[in-house]
Structure 1
Amino acid sequence: MTEIPLARYLEEATRLGGVDFHLHSRYSDGAQSPRELVDEVLAKRLRAFSLTDHDSMAGVLPVRAALRDLDAQVRFIPGVECSCRFEGQEVHVLGYFTEDQPQAMLDYLEEVVLERQERNRRMIARLNQLGYAISEADLAGTGEDDEIRGRVHMALWLVEHAGFPSIASAFQKLLNEGRPAYVARKKRELGQVAEVIRKGGGVAVLAHPQQYGWCDRPLPGSRTLDCRFSLIRDQGILGVECFHGKAGPEESAMIQAAASRLGLFCIAGSDSHGREDQHAAMYRLESSFFPRDSS
């Protein structure tokens, strides 16, 4: 598939239902190994799915191997989720590919990993100053060798060793923006990330726009949803995650209508992280997204 056929496939598959194009594994901040994720995909009888770990495609080949070992016929689309900035706001872009290891994307992710490691060191230093004796070695013991460690892994350590009742409580007290252990990390602009995805032969999709407050009633002088979608389209975004595990029906309808008006294709993704937390559960075969009379 080339860029446009891949985009067309993603929307057509979403229209059919029973797909999930936004999933995380232990190679970023999910709870499941690639094999465990594939087992759940098969148990949910999904028609197609994508692994979209944060700033990592290290889980793609293990997923492919698990599918091969199980002789599974479900369609798998390699993916990734990248953080970036748009008009001063952090947003996430999903990249979908026809290749398991697109070199342009891998080169970009290698740079991001180094930046994440530096940010981790600075946050660990702050946690130590606050009295939490966590080390880089502690983070290294939380998952797969190629896993991208970050704030979730710090939160997991705080739950296990410092008495925090949940991951969410660790974020709220220490790790969220504005809290004492938080350190910002470098973010590329949305257009830069979209261009890297394009160079890798992929398609760039805006993730969960409702999480950025874009579905709220616009204040006087602020941008409308249509205006924002027009701007991101001009910067290389081809599609939008119109149906998300935490988006309400009204939000999904608003996003889908705006995307259609602007010529952006729509996908569905639960954003499941494989654990009972603030994220939604994986979709299943019975999951439907577009209204029945939508064409």
Structure 2
Amino acid sequence: MTLSFDAGCNADLHCHSTASDGTLSPEALAARAQANGVALWALTDHDEVGGQARALAAAQALGLPYLTGVEISVSFLHQSVHIVGLGFDPDHPELVAGLDATRNGRDDRARRMADGLAAVGIGGAYGGALALAGNPRLIARTHFSRFLIEQGICRDNGEVFRRFLTEGKPGFVPHQWASLKDALDWIVKAGGLAVIAHPARYGFSPNEEYALLHEFVGHGGRGIEVVTGAHTDAEANQYAGVAREFKLLASRGSDFHGPGESRVDLGELPPLPRGVEPVWQALRDRVRC
């Protein structure tokens, strides 16, 4: 399919379903995207492509143009960084095997997180978080956060992470994810395009961020999220400048996880700043309708 969408296109290329840590099914997300005026959509579950067939079928039934997507967790400078892949073959064997390997270890990590919470008097966290995980193999901090909110221990996600789930807090357990090189290899070999997700969230120093960008480009990365649910207007302009400097394509996505939980709803984002090239213009031939 040939797209004529410009930089003002209401593309939302970052959101999550119950296949990972979202609260809505792929079908419900497709319907919500269409209702909110999204013109191009991608489901990008964490380290998981199991929802892709359902998302594509739902989008096609609604006449909503669709790109395959995934958000891969990688370790860089002892920190978790997220890489979004777009427009790839979700059945590519190296990608599927790589994501499977990345998911391994989540259960052990979750049990150790629960042990840390139990040590400060919060029992039943593992079972409670597991019950809230749509995909038990992808139990994550998000599910522990929902459990702590449901139990009335915290008011919202911000309080959960401040008190319990960041480094130095009782429920924090680090995890060694895939390398940046591995994640980009999987995406590129599957025919996709790799994008750095919500770069302002990582809190890197200028030198650390430069190292990330340099290595990302060196391994075949081609895009960066400029407009996201996590960025302020100032940050969007800042990363538009980064996109221009490093000759990266600009992406746009809400990082929507569920109603009442996410800062921004599907499709309710400002347009890309002027002077950047939208990532979807490089993916025209990979859009499914």
Provide the TM-score with structure 1 as the length reference.
Answer: 0.83
Deviation, 1:52, is 0.9
* Residue in 2 that maps onto 1:17: 9
* Residue in 2 that maps onto 1:250: 234
Could you say if the C-alpha distance between residues 210 and 31 of structure 1 is closer, same or farther in structure 2, counting changes exceeding 3 Å? same
The question of whether the paired residues in 1 share the 8 Å contact of 2:90 and 2:190 is answered with: no
Q: Which runs of 5 or more structure 2 residues have no equivalent in the other structure?
A: 278-289
* Residue in 2 that maps onto 1:127: 117
Whether 1:272 and 2:256 are equivalent positions in the alignment is yes
The question of whether the paired residues in 2 share the 8 Å contact of 1:26 and 1:147 is answered with: no
**Among 29, 35, 43, the residue aligned to 1:43:** 35
- Residue 155 of structure 1 aligns to a residue whose secondary structure is helix
CA distance in 2, matches of 1:192, 1:100: 16
**Among 255, 258, 272, the residue aligned to 1:289:** 272
Q: Partner amino acid for 1:252?
A: A
Q: Residues 245-287 of structure 1: CA distance to partner in whole angstroms, max 9, x if unpaired?
A: 2322332222222222322111111112223346322225x85
* Residue in 1 that maps onto 2:281: none
CA distance in 1, matches of 2:135, 2:180: 29
Q: Which runs of 5 or more structure 1 residues have no equivalent in the other structure?
A: none
Q: Partner amino acid for 1:165?
A: R
The question of whether the paired residues in 1 share the 8 Å contact of 2:113 and 2:173 is answered with: yes
The question of whether the paired residues in 2 share the 8 Å contact of 1:14 and 1:267 is answered with: no
The question of whether the paired residues in 2 share the 8 Å contact of 1:30 and 1:275 is answered with: no
- Residue 176 of structure 2 aligns to a residue whose secondary structure is coil
Whether 1:104 and 2:94 are equivalent positions in the alignment is yes
Could you say if the C-alpha distance between residues 13 and 134 of structure 1 is closer, same or farther in structure 2, counting changes exceeding 3 Å? farther
Q: Tell me how large the CA RMSD over aligned residues is.
A: 2.7
Could you say if the C-alpha distance between residues 109 and 224 of structure 1 is closer, same or farther in structure 2, counting changes exceeding 3 Å? closer
CA distance in 2, matches of 1:224, 1:151: 24
Aligned residues: 277
- Residue 29 of structure 1 aligns to a residue whose secondary structure is coil
Structure 1 segments, 4+ long, off by >4 Å, are none
CA distance in 2, matches of 1:59, 1:282: 17
* Residue in 1 that maps onto 2:285: none
CA distance in 2, matches of 1:98, 1:267: 16
Whether 1:27 and 2:11 are equivalent positions in the alignment is no
CA distance in 2, matches of 1:141, 1:168: 21
Provide the TM-score with structure 2 as the length reference.
Answer: 0.85
